[in-house]
Structure 1
Amino acid sequence: MSDNIPIGISACLLGENVRFDGGHKKLAFAVNELAPWVRFVPICPEMAIGLPTPRPALRLVKRDDGEMALRFSNHAEGDLTEAMQQFSQKRIAGLEHLCGYIVCAKSPSCGMERVRVYEAEGNNNRKSGTGIFTTELKRQMPWLPVEEDGRLHDPAIRENFVERIYTLFELNNLRKAGLTRGGLIAFHSRYKLLLLAHSQPCYRELGRFVAAIETWDSLEAFFVEYRARLMSLLEHQATRRNHTNVLMHVQGYFRRQLNARQRQELSGLIDRYRQGTQPLLAPVTLLKHYLSEYPDNYLAEQRYFEPYPEALRLRYGN
């Protein structure tokens, strides 16, 4: 797969001095680790609606009708809600090519969750909101992988996000090349083991959906529904238990080729992963070695063994 994956990002996370205090919130993971593999599309909604930097901080305020308003935190005159909503609607409408988005935590424009929402009078607040721009992003593109900078410090969340952007990138390229039933079925087949590691019930449900592809008159309509179901499935974080089941399943493909010592070594490594004393990379690497020694067409096509570039080192610690 090509590495030029388009990813939206809050401009401050790339180190641009666009924040209200004239600074930035550079995200090292994005700038130093992810950047070689993607093409970032930086956006600062607050600068985009004409605000300067530095500027008074903004806040979300709950209006009497229950809707959210975007206002200055210093109680200066002006309601920026309509301007932000109009910009968000128009800008996001041109972002369907994106395969993911990284937003700035706690921001009243970009925050993904737990953004402070203030009462109309006073400073009482609750961490219960979502930034206006991100709310619109998720409304228009509910399938899109969206994460915020703080959460990406968690290794499991980080891996899940990267896995999803690479999956969506391949799916989008399939659409660009021209949808066919065979192409969609082959795509789903390549991801079977990976999906199994995320959720066995959802894996089975999605399999039944794909099996009924012949009943769909419109492949475009099928694609839209499949994309929604696929990306929803991948939001479930892969678990150690599910990975263990996948590894044991793959082990069965080599039962006849491996001798007793090799089978015992592989079983022991999988069990040590199950117990948490070995990272996932260890049994996966051994299985890839056996796959090179004893080729299997089905396994060779599985994205499970390399869902993203190994250089990102995302399977080293889980």
Structure 2
Amino acid sequence: MNGRVRPRVAVSSCLMGEPVRFNGGHSRDRFLSGELDPYVDWVRICPEMEIGLGTPRETLRLERSPDGPRLVTRKTGVDLTDAMTSLAIARGRGLDVDGYVFKSRSPSCGVHGVAVHAGDVAVERRGRGVFAARILDAHPLLPVEDEGRLNDALLRETFVERIFAHARLRALLESDWRARDLVAFHSRHKMQMLAHDPAVYREAGRVVAQAGLRSRGELAADYGRVFGTAFARKAGIGRHVNVLQHCMGMLSDSLDPIRRADLAEVIAAYQAGQVALSVPATLLRHHARGEAAEYLRDQTYFSPYPQELRLRNHVPV
């Protein structure tokens, strides 16, 4: 299952090259529409078009009010907040996706740093788009980013890792699964979860220990919550090093001193910011295969998404 399930990802339509921007153009993103496109199924959404604004159209902005930012047309001051909120609530209710990529700084779709105005003056730049805010309220654990932040190598890797993890769990829970299937799923994801949040990893283990004792609905809901919570925290260098050393310990008895020393040296080089995570991870996976260490070999930690995306090739800073 590792890397083979196709995530369903909602995306602002303009980022996929659709001419739905206010000026009749688009904001095609090369990574989304190029490198990532072969591996995901897109759910394209343009809330401005869906509330009937059309294109080209008057530009929008967030305007400060006592009840929170209002979405208004820039020149004529038409208030579109209620229409956009109603759409977001309806969309959020039926949204069944593994992630969402929003258009950055959009007064409808921006997730971070959207300008809020008082008259013609931007009085703050920490707002959130009206549509995006309601979607996030409805799905607080949904992997979400905007295309601007995906230019950062670590944020890009983290987002892609989350959508594939989310998709694997969705595929399991949509199947005719049994308690043993959830136990096996959790077993494959242990090292990956440990790299993100050790405390939640332990909580997930306690949930799985109840498999077979609780209803499938309750078990699925609780495991989905802790699984999503774990992956919502970025995996830092220190936690990666902990996992890498843990995996090396599992292989220690079957490796000769030279190979153990090589592994320790490569892990130390990653910790020092001298090599990318892909270097020690690939070496560990190679040894796991060679030593027929099935449990370690099958860990999603070593293949959290298709290898062709090469997202672990950046050197940490």
Distance 2:7 2:57 in 1: 33
Q: Segments of 4+ in structure 1 off by > 4 A?
A: none
| 1:63 to partner: Cα distance | 2.2
* CA displacement 1:221-244 (0-9 Å, x = unmatched): 221232122112112111111111
Q: Residue 88 of structure 1 aligns with which residue?
A: 88
Distance 2:5 2:15 in 1: 21
Give the counterpart of 2:257 among 257, 260, 263. Answer: 260
Give the counterpart of 1:220 among 214, 217, 221. Answer: 217
Secondary structure of the corresponding residue to residue 145 of structure 2: strand
Q: Residue 118 of structure 1 aligns with which residue?
A: 117
Distance 1:303 1:137 in 2: 29
Q: Residue 79 of structure 1 aligns with which residue?
A: 79
Alignment of 1:124-139 (within 5 A): 124-139=122-137
Cα–Cα, structure 1 residues 249 and 124, in superposed 2: closer, same or farther, change >3 Å? closer
Distance 1:81 1:313 in 2: 41
* CA displacement 1:175-199 (0-9 Å, x = unmatched): 1112422222221111110111112
Secondary structure of the corresponding residue to residue 253 of structure 2: coil
Distance 1:189 1:227 in 2: 15
* CA displacement 1:237-279 (0-9 Å, x = unmatched): 1111111111111111222222221111111111111111111
In the alignment, is residue 67 of structure 1 matched against residue 65 of structure 2? no
Task: Return the TM-score normalized by structure 2.
Answer: 0.93
Moved more, 103-112 or 138-147: 138-147
Distance 1:256 1:201 in 2: 28
Distance 1:225 1:294 in 2: 36
Output the amino acid matched with 1:171. L
| 1:209 to partner: Cα distance | 3.2
In the alignment, is residue 12 of structure 1 matched against residue 14 of structure 2? yes
Distance 1:86 1:46 in 2: 12
Q: Is the 8 A contact 1:112 1:134 kept in 2?
A: yes
Task: Return the TM-score normalized by structure 1.
Answer: 0.93
Output the amino acid matched with 1:258. L
Output the amino acid matched with 1:68. P
Secondary structure of the corresponding residue to residue 304 of structure 2: coil
Distance 2:204 2:289 in 1: 30
Q: Residue 157 of structure 1 aligns with which residue?
A: 155
| 1:214 to partner: Cα distance | 5.2
Moved more, 84-93 or 287-296: 84-93
Secondary structure of the corresponding residue to residue 254 of structure 1: helix
Q: Residue 206 of structure 1 aligns with which residue?
A: 204
Give the counterpart of 1:184 among 174, 182, 185. Answer: 182
| 1:3 to partner: Cα distance | 4.5
| 1:204 to partner: Cα distance | 2.2
Name stretches of at least 5 consecutive residues in structure 2 with no aligned partner: none
Distance 2:122 2:37 in 1: 39
Name stretches of at least 5 consecutive residues in structure 1 with no aligned partner: none
Number of residues paired by the alignment?
313
Secondary structure of the corresponding residue to residue 71 of structure 2: strand
Secondary structure of the corresponding residue to residue 249 of structure 1: helix
| 1:77 to partner: Cα distance | 4.4
Distance 2:148 2:54 in 1: 25
Greater RCO (Cα-Cα under 8 Å, separation 6 or more): 2
| 1:167 to partner: Cα distance | 0.7
Q: Is the 8 A contact 2:71 2:81 kept in 1?
A: yes
